[in-house]
């Protein structure tokens, strides 16, 4: 028993479409991951630039609070 041509083409088109969707999804996921890493790097650089102008005691408190805030953000994103 042979499969009619219209059904073979339909199966092929669905497979091709799912392949394209999967590739696009993987690209988008990689882009979002890279953007997240860049954002965290900018956050860290911002912290470092502010800390160098502060007194040593204040620096330590500010750094600890800001890094804790970044860790909380990362935890929230990991669970989402």
Q: Per residue in 22-79, pLDDT tens? A: 888 888 888 888 898 888 888 878 877 777 777 778 777 888 788 888 888 888 877 7
Distance CA(16)–CA(22), nearest Å, equals 10
The answer on pLDDT for 8 being more than 70 is no
Three-state SS string across the chain, please?
Answer: CCCCHHHHHHHHHHHHHHHHHHHHHHHHHHHHHHHHHHHHHHHHHHHHHHHCCCCHHHHHHHHHHHHHHHHHHHHHHHHC
Whole-angstrom distance, CA of residue 66 vs CA of residue 43: 9
Nearest in space to 10 (alpha carbons), one of 22, 25, 18 = 18
What per-residue confidence (pLDDT) applies to 77?
76
């Amino acid at each position: 028993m042979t499969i009619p041509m219209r059904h073979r083409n339909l199966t092929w088109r669905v497979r091709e479409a799912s392949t394209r969707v999967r590739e696009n999804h993987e690209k988008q996921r990689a882009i979002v991951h890279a953007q997240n890493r860049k954002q965290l790097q900018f956050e860290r650089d911002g912290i470092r630039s502010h800390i160098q102008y502060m007194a040593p005691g204040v620096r330590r408190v500010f750094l600890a609070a800001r890094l804790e805030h970044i860790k909380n953000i990362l935890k929230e994103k990991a669970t989402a």
